[in-house]
């Protein structure tokens, strides 16, 4: 399989993978979201209790980074499955959300600021 950087092609590849294995019938949205959050947990586990120095080791050692890569792939795979199950075009959704974010966070009012639900905007 050539991994062309086309999200819709990758989505079709994942859909075919699941159809060939008759897994589609297990894929209701609620369980897919649980699977997605489990994969997010597996990504978080890769970083749990590590210092910044240890984390930079993960990112610079290919064998260690592989585990992170795989968890990120699992997360995106589940997101793509959810998107085809609920008939959402991911690329269009991202494009629309980016436009919305540009309006919500204009550069002149948002540059170098992070937002926190309790503390509000803060500079770094
Ligand atoms: Mg995983």
65-76 tens-digit pLDDT: 999 999 999 999
39, 7 Cβ separation under 8 angstroms: no
State which residues form the domain around 105.
89-124
User: What residues are neighbours of ligand 1 (ion), with CB under 5 Å?
Assistant: 39, 42, 71, 74
What CATH number did the domain enclosing 46 receive? Answer: 1.10.287.1080
Q: What is the CA radius of gyration of the chain?
A: 18
Same domain assignment for residues 111 and 71: no
Whole-number Å distance, alpha carbon 107 to ligand 1 midpoint, is 36
What pLDDT is attached to residue 123?
85
Cα three-residue angle 78-8-27, rounded to 5 degrees: 30
Give the whole-angstrom CA distance, residue 68 versus residue 43. 6
Average pLDDT over residues 21-42: 98
pTM value is: 0.87
102-118 tens-digit pLDDT: 999 999 999 999 888 89
82, 33 Cβ separation under 8 angstroms: yes
Residues linked to residue 113 through DSSP beta bridges, in sequence order? 123
Same domain assignment for residues 54 and 110: no
Average pLDDT over residues 45-60: 96
């Amino acid at each position: 399989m050539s991994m062309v950087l086309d999200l819709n092609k990758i989505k079709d590849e994942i859909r075919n993978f699941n159809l060939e294995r008759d897994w589609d019938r297990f894929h209701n949205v609620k369980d897919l979201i649980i699977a997605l959050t489990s994969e997010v947990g597996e990504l978080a586990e890769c970083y749990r209790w590590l210092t910044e120095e240890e984390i930079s080791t993960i990112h610079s050692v290919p064998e260690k980074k592989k585990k992170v890569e795989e968890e990120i792939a699992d997360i995106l795979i589940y997101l793509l499955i959810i998107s085809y199950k609920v008939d959402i075009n991911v690329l269009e959704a991202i494009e629309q959300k980016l436009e919305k974010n540009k309006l919500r966070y204009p550069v002149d009012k948002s540059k170098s600021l992070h937002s926190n639900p309790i503390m509000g905007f803060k500079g770094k």
